[in-house]
Structure 1
Amino acid sequence: MTSLLSRSHKDSLAGLSAVITGGSRGLGLLLAEQLLIRGCAVTIAARDEQELDRARELLTRGRPGARVHGVPCDVTDRAMVASLMADAADAHGGVDVVIANAGIIHVAPLESIDADEFRSAMETIYMGALHTSLEALPWLRRSPAGGRLALIGSVGGLLAVPHLLPYSCAKSAVAALAEGLYAELHGDDVSVTAVHPGLMRTGSHLAAEFGGDEAAEFAWFSALAGSPLVSMDARRAADRIVTAVQRRRSRIVLTPMAKAAGLGHGVAPALTTRLSALAARALPSPPDQGEAQGPHKGRDIEPGPGKARHPVARRLRAWGSALNDRAARRLNQRLPHHAHGGP
């Protein structure tokens, strides 16, 4: 009984100071909420100051005494990340928990993207995670509770996903970084958790950038990301992620499909790659030369017949985006002007 009580006390996050990059919307907002529920003082970071203000209001609403600090930060700039950590430490008396969550998503066939999309993904997702890790470590090493660091990867980092190549490449680098940091820091009093979620209903389809036949690309991505059959409720995902960080787990993979994909690629990589190539054939073809569209954010893509050339694409968009649009309203994702529903 005594050992259980002491373990529970050791795992507690109450009174600790946590930092979340990409914390103003979507999964990052829910991670901040879960950390608040467990008694943390939270610093959320993002590039958009207005978004940060709205996020702080959402997080403190109905929570008297909740300590939420918002810091504008572009994680591609290491100096800004260093300032973020110092600001969080000054506001909340140190830094004990850090979650590197900032990211971007490009959805397009290879023919409709260039090296710029790969560079942008690597700068934001991988270099952002690296900057966050390097600048957090001096503070985490000084944490009396023992620091906790988590890097948000993806199933796209466990195997390459067609039409998401820049994202997959950057997330695979994050996966390697998380594993390497865990090995390097194993003797220190700092835990590292690699997080690999599958699809989640976060409203990310509105912030993702689409190219090629953008309406058709938007249709398949929003359909899968919003389908309860393959995607996960984002609040439940955030709860499981924070629990894994709290318990200092080295790795967590979320959703049955993500677990199956990761296992399949590990056991039979050649077969998984061939199946991925077959799946790519079912995705939208790139438009003819001169007809390329995008990149446009999902929130700027009109779902009407003038944009989606195929009836199936229009039906998929209407069906798949319904749950995700609902999540977007709750999770500070800016809705398009043509979206219907409540606030």
Structure 2
Amino acid sequence: MINRSRLPQRVKGPGALVTGGSRGLGLFMARHLAERGCVVTIAARDTEELERAAAELREATGTTVRATVCDVRDRDAVRALVREVHQRDGLDLVIANAGVIQVAPVEAVGAAEFGDAMDTMFYGALHTSLEALPYLKETRGRLGLIGSVGGLLGVPHLLPYSCAKAAVGALAEGLHAEAAASGVSVTAVHPGLMRTGSHRQAEFGWFSTAAGAPLLSMDAERAARRIVDAVIQRRARLVLTAPAKAAQLAHGVAPGLTTRLSSVAARLLPSAAGQGTLRHGAEAGEPRHPVAKLLRAWGSARNDRAVRRANQHQVGPRTSS
């Protein structure tokens, strides 16, 4: 019988893999897994960032933390990563978290931005799932796929992100149903806005403001703890933050009304006038209303406090975790 609330006891600890684990939410989840006795491997694209994150985790937890460079868009690279972790540490728990975010009106993005979002978030989660499942079946393990409230309803100025996260959510639900018979649990995670410090790289205007507001956003470390608990407990679905739960409920009950409300909100956001194709939020312009500008400054200040803890040091068109 599967123990739903505890990881298996092994001499060197359960083996865990977190993609997109070098910063932000992924880093915090890796930390909580390490604190639970897991031998954790974090994977991302940036070598320097990975090494810094692994060193911070080892110092904070006193456990074995490994770092491997991997681009989840490349299935062969993911296959090699998963095999390495399985052969070296065993594979008991996998969290597919790698992501990228573009914040801009749809007129300012092109098919390439949608493709980039799908390649990193959907295909990244798909590659990780397909390569990990055979090993997880051996250990009756756990798989967590990180979606978003943005995948539960279309969000203005986040359409590439929303489309990719919607696909991740569908993948998680389908895999949960199909993998259950083999003893593998799959958890679909849909976080709302979180204070991860990533606003310097991917957020602007309303997004930066809302992500720093205490009533609208959630501390990323607390969110990571809730997510790790849900994956270990083999929950099928987790939606984080009260506003995210409310938005999900409202959209389910009255989708037409929520869509119209989103249209109203979209009119307050920066326009695409004079802008080229955007690849990261820092290029996306300022809020239109003076009050919104003040709120943005306040929200960004709260986000700035998370930068160091989340290993968010660089600015630019980077993968978001």
Shift of 1:269: 1.4
Q: Give the letter for the 1:169 counterpart.
A: C
- Given the superposition, is the C-alpha separation of residues 153 and 336 from structure 1 closer, same or farther in structure 2, using an over 3 Å criterion? closer
Residue 32 of structure 2 aligns with which residue?
Answer: 34
For residues 196-234 of structure 1, what are the alpha-carbon distances to aligned partners after superposition, in whole Å with 9 as ceiling and x for unaligned?
0000001122232x7xxxxxxx12211111111100011
- The one-letter code of the counterpart of 2:261 is L
Which deviations, in whole Å up to 9, do the C-alpha atoms of 1:214-262 show, x marking residues without a partner? xxxx122111111111000111100100000111000000000000111
Partner of 1:220 in structure 2? 206
User: How far 1:318 sits from its partner (Å)?
Assistant: 1.9
The alpha carbon displacement at 1:11 in A equals 1.9
Pick one of 98, 102, 107 that aligns with 1:102: 98
Q: Match for 1:229: what amino acid? A: L
User: Partner residue of 1:213?
Assistant: none
Tell which structure's C-alpha radius of gyration is larger. 1
Structure 2: 5+ residue runs without aligned partners? 317-321
In structure 1, distance between residues paired with 2:87 and 2:55: 21
Alignment of 1:278-293 (within 5 A): 278-287=264-273, 291-293=274-276
1:276 Cα offset (Å): 1.4
What displacement does 1:266 show?
A: 1.3
User: Do the aligned partners of residues 275 and 317 (structure 1) sit closer, same or farther apart at CA in structure 2, a change above 3 Å counting?
Assistant: closer
Asked if the contact 2:137/2:182 (under 8 Å) is kept, the reply is: yes
Aligned partner of 2:17 in structure 1 is: 19
- Structure 2 counterpart of 1:247, which letter? Q
Paired residues of 2:208 and 2:299 also in contact (CA < 8 A): yes
CA distance in 2, matches of 1:313, 1:268: 28
Measured on the aligned residues, the alpha-carbon RMSD in Å equals 2.2
In structure 2, what is the equivalent of residue 340 of structure 1?
Answer: none
Judge conservation of contact 2:193–2:241 (CA < 8 Å) in 1. Answer: yes
Instruction: Deviation per CA, 1:113-142: give whole Å up to 9, x if none.
Output: 111111110000000000000000111011
Pairing partner for 1:156 from 150, 156, 159: 150
The aligned residue for residue 341 of structure 1 is none
**Within 1, Cα distance between the matches of 2:77 and 2:58?**
25
CA distance in 2, matches of 1:301, 1:169: 21
Letter in 1 for 2:301: A
Q: CA deviation at 1:264?
A: 1.1
State the percentage of identical aligned residues: 59
Which residue pairs with 1:112 in the alignment?
108
Structure 1 residues 54 and 78 mapped into 2: Cα distance closer, same or farther (>3 Å)?
same
Q: Is contact 2:96–2:145 with CA below 8 Å preserved after alignment? A: yes
User: Could you tell me which residue of structure 1 aligns to residue 295 of structure 2?
Assistant: 316
Q: Which moved more, 1:19-28 or 1:259-268?
A: 259-268
Secondary structure of residue in 1 paired with 2:278: strand
Corresponding residue for residue 328 of structure 1: 307
Q: Does 1:263 align with 2:270?
A: no
1:295 offset after TM fit, Å?
2.6
Instruction: In structure 1, give the amino acid aligned to 2:278.
Output: P
Contact 2:102 2:279 in 1 (8 A): no
- Match of residue 125 from structure 2: 129
1:55 is matched with 53
Matched, 1:74 2:71: yes
Q: Secondary structure at the match of 2:187?
A: strand
Report the TM-score, using the length of structure 2 for normalisation: 0.91
Aligned partner of 1:215 in structure 2 is none
Q: What pairs up with 1:189-204 in 2 under 5 angstroms? A: 189-204=183-198
Deviation, structure 1 residue 51: 0.5
Residue 248 of structure 1 corresponds to 234
Q: Could you tell me whether the CA contact under 8 Å between 1:178 and 1:192 is conserved in 2?
A: yes
Instruction: Compute the displacement of 1:285 (Å).
Output: 2.1
Aligned residue type for 1:85: V
The 1-side partners of 2:284 and 2:155 are apart by 25
Deviations 1:134-163 (A, max 9, x none): 0001110111xx210010000011000000
The runs of at least 4 consecutive aligned structure 1 residues that moved more than 3 Å come to 300-303, 307-314
Distance 2:251 2:288 in 1: 34
User: Which structure carries more relative contact order (alpha carbon 8 Å, separation 6+)?
Assistant: 2
Q: How far does the alpha carbon of each residue in 1:45-102 deviate from its partner, in whole angstroms, 9 at most, with x for none?
A: 00000000000011011433x011101000000000001101212331x111000000
* Equivalent AA in structure 2 for residue 107 of structure 1: V
Q: Find the aligned partners of 1:314 and 1:89 in 2 and give their Cα distance.
A: 49
CA distance in structure 2 between the aligned counterparts of 1:39 and 1:240, rounded to whole angstroms = 17
- The secondary structure found in structure 2 opposite 1:19 is strand
Assess, with a 3 A threshold, how the Cα gap between structure 1 residues 174 and 308 changes in structure 2: closer, same or farther.
closer
